[in-house]
Chain A
Amino acid sequence: MFCALLGPNGAGKSTLFALMTRLFTSPQGRIEIAGHDMARSPRAALKRMGVVFQQPTLDLDLTVQRNLDYFSALHGLSGRTARSRIDEALDRLGMRDKASEIVRNLNGGHRRRLEIARCLCHRPKVLLLDEPTVGLDAATRQAITEHVHDLSRSDGLTVLWATHLTDEIRDGDQLLVLHHGRLLENGQTGELRGGVPLAQHFLSLTGETE
């Protein structure tokens, strides 16, 4: 399932992500990831979650392989298991031939793809991506958006995709519209927007004219 979290800047998307990844916790409310309560069994919840943060979190001076090794080890994978999972993830994103490159030499699109490959290594059930296409050119943006849509269809992954760009959302996606920390809409994108283009629908909801 692909679920888009749409909201203008400052809507609270990143705060929501910080809460969902247990960077900090809130005294109120309840967060459940793949059936695991974040407050009661945070480690079980984190284990089933793959995250791509808005800011890049790669070691630029290390190779692609080293970056993936490090991440896999943080999730308790080592040896042959880690290697096969890493190769699998690299293949999935078409990055196998880049394995021994230094990350600094990769372009923005490849770095993003690497981060997506990385968060697949521990075979999560849920993927969280916080504005993963920021700073990428249009073609790369579309390719990555398409790729993650594919992942949500072919692998039974649940994807939560935060964005402020309406063209990254398909009619079949579930749509959550967030504005000033409040949930304005929740439903299937096609049904919510009716006959109007999503961009226009979004603008009329958030009431921000430019």
Chain B
Amino acid sequence: MIPALIALRAIIAREALRFVGQRSRFVAALVRPLLWLIVFAAGFRAALGLSITPPYQTYTTYEVYIVPGLCGMILLFNGMQSSLSLVYDREMGSMRLLLTSPLPRWWLLFCRLLASTAISILQVYAFLAVTALYGIQFSAAGYVALLPALVIAGLMLGALGLALSSTIRQLENFAGVMNFVIFPMFFLSTALYPLWKMAESSELLHDICAVNPFTHAVELIRFALYAQFNGMALLWTTLTGLVLLALAIWGYDPARGMVRRKS
């Protein structure tokens, strides 16, 4: 096996082992979307009726509508959390260990990204298993089609975290990331309300939601769950992901390190 793949396998194995070791993190990642689903969505079901827009073919309850958004939420939270652990890692050393490996730096960063995405995907499926028990089920084809969508959405959100961790130093505490990244991205997207519902209240809100990359990630997931393909969402999610990845690799360029140090 070539060194690059040996390293990839080891980086994923390490993330998986660490994940298994931190059961509380897994439970927290599972409880958060379930709370939204059971408490928030149950309350909203009465207030909010959803008309029939693709990919839905029949009248849909709010609880069913919100599931793809909550899958996106898991990816978003995990992407941010792993980015913060990178910042932490970079100070504490394990990032140093990674970066002194004699492999191209972009590859090492990509491996780290892929590893954290793999963990996120496991969590999404665990969440969907619980929602299935709760009574919200999708077709087998939907669960399969979901996988590539989660990979792309997960990589994009992970790349966002990576780009943030390398460029913005103020975002080192989780509260900052919550307030300025996670909440705006989540609330100004189609995770909780469809676009047309947003348009009813404000054109501006609608426009913000429509350009929010998280919206496209959620829509990609939503269509995939119904075994349907949303080309627009795929295009935007992929493009955003590539731009963010490029930004992250630029941010971790060693030539920039000195500048950061001095400032």
List the interface of chain A (C-beta within 8 A of B): 18, 21-27, 43-44, 46-47, 49, 51, 53, 55-57, 59, 61-62, 66, 69-71, 73-78
Which 4 pairs show the lowest CB-CB distances between chains A and B? Answer: A24-B257, A76-B3, A73-B10, A57-B93
Main secondary structure of the interface of A (DSSP, over half): loop
Knowing A24-B258, A59-B18, A61-B21, say if A77 contacts B6 (CB, 8 Å).
yes
Q: Are A73 and B102 within 8 A (Cβ)?
A: no
A contact residues around B7 at 8 Å (CB): 73-74, 76
Knowing A57-B96, A59-B14, say if A25 contacts B255 (CB, 8 Å).
yes
Q: Are A24 and B101 within 8 A (Cβ)?
A: no
A-B Cβ contacts below 8 A, count: 92
Query: For the complex, is B254 an interface residue (Cβ under 8 Å from A)?
Result: yes
B contact residues around A44 at 8 Å (CB): 102
Q: State which residues 95-154 of B face A: CB under 8 Å.
A: 96-104
B97 partner, pick from A22, A43, A57, beta carbons under 8 A: A57
Knowing A53-B93, A59-B18, A61-B18, say if A22 contacts B100 (CB, 8 Å).
yes
Q: Within the assembled complex, what's the spacing in Å between the Cα atoms of A26 and B258? A: 7
Main secondary structure of the interface of B (DSSP, over half): helix
Residue among B7, B99, B100 with the highest chain A CB neighbour number at 10 A: B100
A contact residues around B10 at 8 Å (CB): 69-70, 73-74
Q: A22-B254, A43-B103, A61-B18 are in contact. List 4 more A-B contacts (CB 8 A).
A: A18-B257, A53-B93, A73-B10, A74-B97
Query: For the complex, is B208 an interface residue (Cβ under 8 Å from A)?
Result: no
B101's closest neighbor in chain A, by CB? A74
A61's closest neighbor in chain B, by CB? B21
